[in-house]
A and B are shown apart, each in its own frame.
Chain A
Amino acid sequence: MSVGAPESFEKLQTVQPLLEVRNIKKYFPITGGVLRRTIGHVKAVDDVSFTLNEGETLGLVGESGCGKSTLGRVIMRIYEPTEGTLTINGQEISHLKGEALRKLRHQFQMVFQDPYSSLNPRMSVGSLIAEPLLVNRRGSRAQIQEQVESLLAIVGLSPEARVRYPHEFSGGQRQRIAIARALALRPKLIVADEAVSALDVSIQAQILNLLADLRKEFGLSYVFISHNLAVVKHVSDRVAVMYLGRLVELAPKSKLYTQPLHPYTQALLSAAPEPKRHVARERIVLMGDVPSPAKPPSGCAFHTRCPQVMDVCRSLRPELKEHTPGQYVACHIYS
């Protein structure tokens, strides 16, 4: 089913979203001088809002430094947002701490990019997967053992893997272990941050297929963070494009990839090298580098590199507005 179709999209809008991100900001202080006083802020995430429905996958794309990983960590409440509200399953978790937060954590879990550093090398695979179950007191030792084995089967590893250690596995298999661990508490939401970027292409496909199967089987929702536009298109229902801490475009994937509105989305798509010869496509090569998020340009942050820049872009920041049903864009061209 394509959530991109207008009728189904509207229908989904009426149900309560699983995840609601409202005006989220995450600023990191820059300190300087002998007194280590705050002399500025890195606005890693600067006023981002979106919702995610149950069973839906939202792709989050952007280049390094755009704030996509920080946003993922705010959603996971690894970071506390500077401003804004974060609601999961009807419960606000923006500023929860300690035990109160821990009680809700089983609903949202994360899979990281590097399975070499996200798994404790001194724990066996069995204890790595059992850990979240033990912490949350999910049954007796025997019951937990049983669950570990079924989780290993779900991610396609043999039960013998239990007694082995992460270094004995290849990158793809380690990512399977990380996914089994994330699945242990039956979460509703998984934030996957560049989960397949470190893997070889033939292995990447195995993990993408596994994520798709799990989504169907457990009704999971994903926030899928990646710099790879083709991968994001493959897994997502809707896609959000980030530039310097803000969303510049948010649309069902069918629209985003066929009629991108924002000049940045257009440039990104034209720059993505396709593994095909004879692709007739206009190439837009952007000049310059992404500006530092510590000193973002005035007005629209993209105006320094935008091929269609206008006077108003230098002074006034465009708001993210609905241009056609379901397709949101933050650009003065469309206002």
Chain B
Amino acid sequence: MAEPLLKVRNLRTYFISKNSTVKAVDGVDFEVYPGKVLGIVGESGSGKSMTSLSVMRLVPGPQGKIVEGEILLEGQDLLQLSERAMRDVRGNRIGMIFQEPMSALNPVLKIGEQIGEVLVRHRKVTKAQAKKQAVALLRSVGFPRAEQIVDEYPHQLSGGMRQRAMIAMAMACEPSLLIADEPTTALDVTIQAQVLDLMRSLKEQNGTAILLITHDLGVVAQMADDVVVMYGGQVVEAASADEIFDHPLHPYTQALMASIPVIEEERERLQAIPGTVPSAADFPSGCRFAPRCALAEERCHEQMPELREISLAHAVRCLVVQGKTDRRENAT
């Protein structure tokens, strides 16, 4: 396999205040390969969004801090860069799209000006050239009347159109990595299908790697090549998308898949996961999923499991699952 484009090692992002330390991201590792989609799945409070903000170094301060780890983009550690050097990375080598295009776009700037701004900043083109390129970019994301759209304001566009304009802006400098945080969550299903199609074709045509953050297992199944499942600020399972969906191993991943209704299957009763997601300020000792886990043993409440590869490119953070494979290996 090719060298990873983005390599995140032991990332820890904490929110430290006088009374508490919130471990939003607590020792996360993953890689994104060129031209591939890595999906990060998790529920609210799992730390998935804070992971993506950490990669862009946009963790809200002053309490939020990346306290440990490495974020290697093409071998260069982004955490060592100055704020000025980091501004040359954002929007240039890393493109970003967010869930709420209305709050991510500037409401008083025309669409064309906002896309052009990126090009003027990073590519040192003139304003006239930037506008011309903005039209071409808008056309490439599927706007038939791109010449008019450049002179329109965000409020004049529908939600799906705004999201496509955001994608055009993110792709303006042909970034090698696109970070998409819940890009279709605010959109209707038929519009979601359009945006996912567009992201897929960008990946295929430009070879852009995509870091896709979502809570929607359906979107991940459609889009991702590799999947990372997060729970309580940690990666609990990592594997190829085929592996995750066909042979999920971690009890949380399995429970998550059994808890959602599926159109293709008749499910009499959904398997709900009891309890709620733990608070990042007060994690249980031992495995963070243990209090809700049907398979939890005594040691799960005491000992924190490691994320360990138990078959080729399939890593799991679970003592019970690891114990089973160990016994099998000892037997042979």
Seen from chain A, the residues whose Cβ lies within 8 Å of a Cβ on chain B are: 63-64, 170, 172-173, 200-206, 208-209, 212, 227, 229-231, 233-234, 257, 267-277, 279, 283, 285-287, 289-290
Asked if B89 is at the interface of the complex by the 8 Å CB criterion, the answer is no
CB within 8 Å for A268 and B260 given contacts A274-B218, A275-B217, A276-B245: no
Asked if B18 is at the interface of the complex by the 8 Å CB criterion, the answer is no
CB within 8 Å for A234 and B256 given contacts A273-B192, A289-B161: no
CB within 8 Å for A205 and B263 given contacts A273-B219, A273-B222: no
- Closest B residue to A285 using CB positions: B193
Most buried by A among B190, B216, B245: B190
| Residues of the B chain whose Cβ atoms lie less than 8 Å from the Cβ of A172 | 276
A270 to B256, CA, bound (A): 23
Asked if B166 is at the interface of the complex by the 8 Å CB criterion, the answer is no
For chain B, the count of residues having a C-beta within 8 Å of the partner chain is 44
- The segment out of B90-98, B123-131, B267-275, B310-318 that lies at the interface is B267-275
| Residues of the B chain whose Cβ atoms lie less than 8 Å from the Cβ of A273 | 192-193, 196, 216, 218-219, 221-222
B215 pairs with A200, CB closer than 8 A:
yes
- Chain B 170-205 near chain A by CB (<8 Å), digits 1 or 0: 000000000000000000111111101100000000
A277 to B216, CA, bound (A): 14
B43 pairs with A201, CB closer than 8 A:
yes
B189 pairs with A277, CB closer than 8 A:
no
A279 to B221, CA, bound (A): 10
A111 to B44, CA, bound (A): 22
Asked if B241 is at the interface of the complex by the 8 Å CB criterion, the answer is yes
CB within 8 Å for A205 and B189 given contacts A273-B216, A274-B221, A275-B217: no
A202 pairs with B263, CB closer than 8 A:
no
A104 to B261, CA, bound (A): 35
Q: Identify the 4 closest CB pairs spanning chains A and B, nearest first.
A: A273-B218, A234-B261, A275-B217, A63-B188
| Residues of the A chain whose Cβ atoms lie less than 8 Å from the Cβ of B241 | 277
| Residues of the B chain whose Cβ atoms lie less than 8 Å from the Cβ of A204 | 259-260
**Distance (Å) between the CB of A234 and the closest chain B CB?**
4
A253 to B238, CA, bound (A): 36
CB within 8 Å for A208 and B261 given contacts A276-B245, A285-B197: yes
A285 to B188, CA, bound (A): 12
| Residues of the A chain whose Cβ atoms lie less than 8 Å from the Cβ of B242 | 277
- Chain B 212-252 near chain A by CB (<8 Å), digits 1 or 0: 00011111111000000000000000000110011000000
Residue in contact with A275 in the complex, picked from B43, B257, B267, B273, CB distance below 8 Å: B257
Residue in contact with B261 in the complex, picked from A202, A231, A268, A287, CB distance below 8 Å: A231
A275 pairs with B262, CB closer than 8 A:
yes
Residue in contact with B270 in the complex, picked from A205, A268, A286, CB distance below 8 Å: A205
Residue pairs across A and B with Cβ atoms less than 8 A apart, 12 shown, are A63-B190, A170-B276, A202-B256, A202-B272, A202-B277, A205-B270, A233-B261, A271-B193, A272-B189, A273-B221, A273-B222, A277-B221
- Closest B residue to A66 using CB positions: B188
| Residues of the A chain whose Cβ atoms lie less than 8 Å from the Cβ of B192 | 271, 273
A230 pairs with B263, CB closer than 8 A:
yes
**Distance (Å) between the CB of B227 and the closest chain A CB?**
10
| Residues of the A chain whose Cβ atoms lie less than 8 Å from the Cβ of B245 | 275-277
A275 pairs with B218, CB closer than 8 A:
yes
Asked if B72 is at the interface of the complex by the 8 Å CB criterion, the answer is no
A257 to B261, CA, bound (A): 13
A176 to B276, CA, bound (A): 13
Asked if B158 is at the interface of the complex by the 8 Å CB criterion, the answer is yes
Q: A205-B272, A234-B267, A272-B263 are in contact. List 8 more A-B contacts (CB 8 A).
A: A63-B189, A64-B188, A201-B259, A212-B269, A229-B189, A230-B262, A257-B263, A277-B242
**Distance (Å) between the CB of A77 and the closest chain B CB?**
28
| Residues of the A chain whose Cβ atoms lie less than 8 Å from the Cβ of B262 | 230, 274-276
| Residues of the B chain whose Cβ atoms lie less than 8 Å from the Cβ of A209 | 269-270, 272
B264 pairs with A279, CB closer than 8 A:
yes
Asked if B146 is at the interface of the complex by the 8 Å CB criterion, the answer is no
A233 pairs with B263, CB closer than 8 A:
yes
Asked if B27 is at the interface of the complex by the 8 Å CB criterion, the answer is no
| Residues of the B chain whose Cβ atoms lie less than 8 Å from the Cβ of A170 | 276
B residues 272-300 near A (Cβ < 8 Å) are 272-274, 276-277
Asked if B255 is at the interface of the complex by the 8 Å CB criterion, the answer is yes
A88 to B80, CA, bound (A): 67
Residue in contact with B189 in the complex, picked from A212, A227, A234, A257, CB distance below 8 Å: A227
- Closest B residue to A231 using CB positions: B261
- Closest B residue to A235 using CB positions: B261
Asked if B35 is at the interface of the complex by the 8 Å CB criterion, the answer is no
| Residues of the B chain whose Cβ atoms lie less than 8 Å from the Cβ of A233 | 261, 263
| Residues of the A chain whose Cβ atoms lie less than 8 Å from the Cβ of B215 | 200-201
**Distance (Å) between the CB of B145 and the closest chain A CB?**
12
- Closest A residue to B220 using CB positions: A275
B267 pairs with A201, CB closer than 8 A:
no
**Distance (Å) between the CB of B294 and the closest chain A CB?**
13
Residue in contact with A290 in the complex, picked from B188, B271, B274, CB distance below 8 Å: B188
**Distance (Å) between the CB of B204 and the closest chain A CB?**
16
CB within 8 Å for A230 and B276 given contacts A212-B269, A273-B221, A289-B160: no
| Residues of the A chain whose Cβ atoms lie less than 8 Å from the Cβ of B216 | 273
